[in-house]
RNA sequence: GGAGAGAUACUCAAGUGGCUCAAGAGGACGGUUUGCUAAACCGUUAGUGUGCGUAAGUGCAGCGAGGGUUCGAAUCCCUCUCUCUCCGCCA
């Protein structure tokens, strides 16, 4: 949610920025109209209430007083109804207004306008026909999409033997690396309530992307961003505790509505996947700097795994609803011959903290203000497995184990010997 | 799942329709006294959200949340959330 005062005081600038990311002009104008109507009504109601407060006697009112008070009361009610109606409309729009991009975000309309800011590592030249990760995974009997489809449905996967171990090794490796960089680890509920989803901005706009549990107001969390950020919902944090750096491994659940036909095969787009999330709660004056740090912390994983990647800045048109600035880390996938998103690191400024009422307090000045929130994947584990498999594949169809993972897996290679079990 | 009890400010807590635009105590902070500390005494302590105002300021809301009744609600009614106790079930 944007600061209403910011919109009032900088209407033209905000409007320009919002239109650049595809927000409808008509909606924006409607918001402005409703906002001034709301303020006018609020002043009326408050004036009437003040009159009422002054007029209400200490004891029983006289018949004449009663008459006046009744009239006053009914006119308050009438105005109040108008106010509430306007307020509801206003809120509805306010909750669907996206964040305002920072000035450093490039203008653009689609992902084609994203700007590459760096490339790290050279994609390896293979002297054989590379296979995709799902092909290799199936051949080595460490990934099983068919059986997962039997148990559940499409876009689910089952890891087996060293495949399961590889996933678990990556989870541990990532968490330990982040811990070394000052993040505190959490283990969290996978199910969240509506308030939490409103707080981080998944609702009300993206209801269709969420798995809702029937007969309840619970949802399967689409990202640990929701749980981690909402830890601090409705809290006032002492300024000296900032920045707060936290991390968690969670399963994530997404309907992937509207992505039919995209990434049908493999681990890239699943309804359930594991992710390590990084969240920062920071002092507003530091958030731009903290985003760079967050990006570095996420990049570190791929650097240690020695897998090539690049970083792009999302343009205004490709920016997520809640974000003011986003860096995507894209990992090299040899079978696709291109870089694919594996992490998204964003600065939300006070957009989420306004919705979720996350504030900090400066004790000396006795001032409270909204914090800035940031988060990034560090990293999406399934996609990392895909990247490891593809980048570390050998001519004979095996997978070498990255140096940093050897201590977890205790093997040098995942080999195509025989099926691990007969099933 | 059943039965009961709760939720008031930093903490404890009074408060069954107007005398409370929330008493009192503790704590915290400030002051008087004091060689220093303590005690005693005096004072402050409703954070927050939001409107108007350049500002000083001023209004409104706020007693777990949301509705309702009423001229008037912490108080009465309805719905919900959470906490606690007991019973049942259970990894």
Tens digits of residue pLDDT in A200-248:
988 888 888 899 887 778 899 999 999 999 988 888 888 888 899 999 9
Going by their DSSP bridges, the two strands A184-186 and A244-253 should be labelled as parallel
Residue given tokens 């293979």 in the structure block: A126
Which A residues 107-166 have CB within 7 Å of strand B? none
Our answer to whether residue A269 is catalytic in this structure is yes
Tens digits of residue pLDDT in A143-163:
999 999 999 999 999 999 999
Residues facing residue A331 across a β-bridge: A309, A340
Work out if A365's Cβ lies within 7 angstroms of strand B: no
Our answer to whether residue A383 is catalytic in this structure is yes
Counting as low any pLDDT under 70, the low residues of chain A are: 58, 363-366, 417-423
What integer pLDDT is reported at residue A423 of this predicted model?
46
* A254: phi then psi, degrees, rounded to nearest 5: -140, 140
- Indicate the DSSP class of residue A110: S
Work out if A46's Cβ lies within 7 angstroms of strand B: yes
Q: CA(A18)–C1'(B75) in Å?
A: 48
What integer pLDDT is reported at residue A234 of this predicted model?
82
CB atoms within 10 A of CB A61: 15
Our answer to whether residue A21 is catalytic in this structure is no
Work out if A50's Cβ lies within 7 angstroms of strand B: yes
Work out if A216's Cβ lies within 7 angstroms of strand B: no
Q: CA(A342)–C1'(B8) in Å?
A: 49
Name the 3-class secondary structure at A179: helix
ipTM above 0.85, yes or no: no
Sheet holding A218-220, edge to edge: A191-193, A218-220, A211-212
Catalytic residue, candidates A323, A344, A353, A377: A344
Does the N-terminal peptide bond of residue A83 adopt cis geometry, omega within 30 degrees of 0? no
What integer pLDDT is reported at residue A420 of this predicted model?
46
Q: Pull the structure tokens for residue A51.
A: 């009159």
pTM for the model: 0.91
Closest CA to A301 of A263, A271, A342, A270: A342
Q: CA(A103)–C1'(B48) in Å?
A: 32
What integer pLDDT is reported at residue A418 of this predicted model?
57
Q: CA(A29)–C1'(B51) in Å?
A: 22
Catalytic residue, candidates A135, A355, A383, A390: A383
Which region, left, alpha or beta, applies to residue A312 given φ > 0 means left and ψ of -120 to 50 means alpha? beta
Catalytic residue, candidates A20, A132, A225, A254: A254
Residues facing residue A341 across a β-bridge: A330
CA pair distance A210, A213, nearest whole angstrom: 10
Work out if A66's Cβ lies within 7 angstroms of strand B: yes
Work out if A59's Cβ lies within 7 angstroms of strand B: yes
Our answer to whether residue A254 is catalytic in this structure is yes
């Amino acid at each position: 949610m944007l600061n209403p005062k910011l919109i009032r005081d900088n209407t033209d600038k905000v409007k320009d920025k919002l239109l650049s990311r595809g927000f409808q002009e008509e909606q924006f104008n409607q918001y402005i109209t409703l906002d001034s109507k709301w303020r006018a009504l609020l002043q009326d109601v408050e004036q009437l209430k003040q009159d009422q407060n002054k007029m209400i006697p200490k004891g029983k009112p006289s018949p004449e007083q009663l008459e006046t008070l009744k009239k006053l009361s009914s006119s308050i009610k009438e105005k109040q109804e108008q106010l509430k109606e306007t307020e509801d409309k206003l809120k509805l729009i306010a909750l669907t207004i996206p964040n305002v991009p920072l000035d450093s975000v490039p203008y653009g309309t689609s992902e084609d306008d994203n700007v590459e800011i760096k490339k790290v590592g050279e994609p390896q030249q293979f002297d054989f026909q590379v296979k995709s990760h799902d092909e290799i995974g199936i051949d080595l009997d460490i990934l099983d999409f068919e059986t997962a489809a039997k148990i559940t449905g499409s876009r689910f996967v089952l890891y087996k033997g060293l495949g399961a171990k590889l996933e678990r090794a990556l989870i541990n490796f990532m968490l330990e690396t982040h811990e070394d960089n000052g993040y505190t680890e959490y283990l969290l509920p996978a199910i969240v309530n509506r308030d939490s989803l409103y707080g981080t901005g998944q609702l009300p706009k993206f209801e269709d992307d969420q798995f809702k549990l029937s007969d309840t107001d619970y949802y399967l969390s689409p990202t640990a961003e929701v749980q981690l950020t909402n830890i601090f919902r409705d809290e006032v944090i002492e300024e000296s505790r900032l920045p707060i750096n936290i991390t968690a491994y969670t399963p994530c659940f997404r309907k992937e509505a509207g992505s039919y036909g995209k990434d049908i095969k493999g681990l890239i787009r699943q309804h359930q996947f594991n992710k390590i999330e990084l969240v920062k709660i920071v002092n507003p004056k530091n958030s731009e700097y903290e985003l760079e740090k967050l990006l570095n912390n996420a990049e570190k994983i791929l650097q240690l795994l020695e897998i090539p990647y690049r970083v792009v800045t999302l343009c205004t048109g490709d920016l997520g609803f809640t974000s003011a600035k986003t860096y995507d880390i894209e990992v090299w996938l040899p079978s696709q011959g291109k870089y694919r998103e594996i992490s998204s690191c964003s600065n939300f400024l006070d957009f989420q903290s306004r919705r979720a009422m996350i504030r900090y307090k400066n004790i000396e000045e006795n001032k409270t203000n909204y914090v800035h929130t940031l988060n990034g994947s560090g990293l999406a584990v399934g996609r990392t497995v895909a990247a490891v498999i593809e980048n570390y594949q050998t001519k004979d169809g095996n997978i070498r184990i990255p140096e940093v993972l050897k201590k977890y897996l205790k093997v040098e290679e995942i080999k195509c010997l025989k099926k691990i079990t007969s099933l």
